[in-house]
A = this chain, B = another copy of it.
Amino acid sequence: MPIMGDGKRAGSKPATIYDVAARAGVSKSLVSLVLQRSPRVSDQRRAAVLRAIQELDYRPSTAAVALAGTRSRTIGVVLDDFRNQWFVDLLTGLRESLQDQGHRLVVADRFLNTGLDASPVEGFLSMRVEGIVIAGEPDTDLAVPASMPLVVAGGRVTIPRADTVANDDRTGGAIAAAHLLDLGHRRIGFVGARSAASDERRTGLEARIAAAGPGASVVSAVLSGEPTEEAGVRAVGVLLDEHPDVTAVFAANDVMAIGALSGLAERGLRVPEDVSVIGYDDTPVAASRYVGLTSIDDRSVEIGRGAGERLLARIADPGAPAREILVEPRLVARRTTARR
């Protein structure tokens, strides 16, 4: 049974720093110093305090620490939606760069506390976080005070005063193009939706194909709505209706790519024998053995790490000019692309 309650002090209120001080026979300040790992405490006293902390199961109140201290040592991470898995890797990267400095991470998506806060940012502001990371491009209007250190990770909205760390979509598109050209494809279709990321990826694709010479060309089906699986199905349908000769499809993201797979299957086309398909984001579904989708890895861990570093730099020097950092994506070849 992994979960157990310890019997001691059950029911009573949590121990305070006073309790610890009394038990260890020292002053409250001494306890505080021990807590902050100050070297200016005798080993004997320190040991006594530590023992008292153990015995009382003492845990400093974050509220009191935040209130009394000068810094909250907390960073708020704003997600648009917990369903968008990519944030998981982003958090890994953020943790790597932020946690050595003792920063605590708090996450919220736009639904978590609806009804209490107008937006996740409101909640973070109340917590007096030292910095905010916005993951992706939330569609709500986020009012972040100009004085709050802010970095946008993975999104392409450029806010003058915010640092931006994102995957280089244009390069990603070019990488996809190069992969397909390598495999011998010359007539390539793009399926996308109305988003900045989709546009950039297409631009990268087209540029690289154009550079390959007159033998290769791109045709596109860009829908006006959200880049959903359904949109992928529809877009690939449109694409093939108009251009039955495409042998490879590059989708603006994995979700649309999965839709494209459905669309192709429903038309009786085999992947990758008849048509190759490549997605973008390298999501868990793409990596699934069942799907095995070739995709462009947007390097979320790297983005997270970079975002954390930028945020620290900005906290240290709020006046520093905003930077935009692009992380190089990379190809992850799987089963849905093949030589033609």
Residues of A within 8 A of B (CB): 1-7, 9-12, 14, 57, 59-64, 66-67, 72, 82-83, 85, 87-88, 91-92, 95, 99-100, 102, 104-108, 111-116, 122-123, 125-128, 134, 137-148, 152, 157, 159, 161-162, 229-230, 233, 258-259, 261-262, 265, 284-285, 288-291, 318
Contact flag A14-B128 (CB < 8 Å), given A87-B82, A229-B289: yes
Contact flag A5-B140 (CB < 8 Å), given A61-B126, A63-B63: no
Say whether A10 contacts B229, CB under 8 Å: no
Say whether A104 contacts B95, CB under 8 Å: no
Nearest chain B residue, comparing its CB with the CB of A161: B5
Nearest CB of chain B from residue A56's CB, rounded to whole Å: 12
Say whether B2 contacts A138, CB under 8 Å: yes
Instruction: Pick from B57, B261, B262: contact of A145, CB below 8 A.
Output: B57
Nearest CB of chain B from residue A231's CB, rounded to whole Å: 11
Instruction: Pick from B82, B106, B265: contact of A88, CB below 8 A.
Output: B82
What are 14 inter-chain pairs, A to B, with CB distance below 8 A?
A1-B157, A3-B152, A3-B162, A5-B143, A5-B159, A6-B145, A11-B318, A14-B125, A63-B127, A95-B113, A99-B113, A104-B123, A107-B112, A259-B289
Q: Which residues of B contact A145 (CB under 8 A)?
A: 5-6, 9-10, 57
Q: Which residues of B contact A7 (CB under 8 A)?
A: 146
Say whether B6 contacts A83, CB under 8 Å: no
Nearest chain B residue, comparing its CB with the CB of A85: B83
